Amino acid sequence: MTSMDRTLEGELLDESVWLGVGEFCSVLRVERHWVIELVDSGLIEPRGEAPESWHFPASALTRARTTARLMEDLGVNLAGAAVILELIEERRSLLARLQQLERALGS
């Protein structure tokens, strides 16, 4: 990933920014059929009826990139990546909750 990609990603991860399916594929450097597989597996959710009219929140880029890395680097299949992503998100949520509790207890 180039520094340009990192800068672009940092600017795009705003929930108010939505990308068309073409833009989404371009930023990720993937084929449309792979994005369709992500949607079919429930890993990302588009807005729109048909793949040609889909739009994704920019925050879905992180989820798609993580999925790609799990598949490429670790050889995980799509179902395995979905489970891993859910566990990662649950861990983040639990850590945030733990920090809130620690602050409330004055630790």
Q: How far apart are CA 58 and CA 20, in angstroms?
A: 10
Please give the pLDDT value at position 69.
95
Q: Is the pLDDT of residue 26 over 90?
A: yes
Give mean pLDDT, residues 17-40.
95
Tell me the pLDDT tens digit for each residue of 42-54.
999 999 999 999 9
Tokens of 101: 């509790």
Q: Is the pLDDT of residue 3 over 50?
A: no
Tell me the pLDDT tens digit for each residue of 79-93.
999 999 999 999 999
Tell me the pLDDT tens digit for each residue of 8-17.
444 545 678 9
Cβ(54)–Cβ(40) under 8 Å? no
Q: How far apart are CA 2 and CA 64, in angstroms?
A: 17
Please give the pLDDT value at position 107.
62
Please give the pLDDT value at position 95.
97
Q: Count of residues for the chain?
A: 107
Q: What is the pTM of this model?
A: 0.76
Q: How far apart are CA 91 and CA 40, in angstroms?
A: 25
Fold assignment, 3-105: Multidrug-efflux Transporter Regulator; Chain: A; Domain 2 (1.10.1660)
Tell me the chain's radius of gyration from C-alpha atoms: 16
Give mean pLDDT, residues 64-81.
96
If phi > 0 it is left, if psi is from -120 to 50 it is alpha, else beta; for residue 89 that is alpha
Q: Tell me the sheet residues that pair with 19.
A: 56
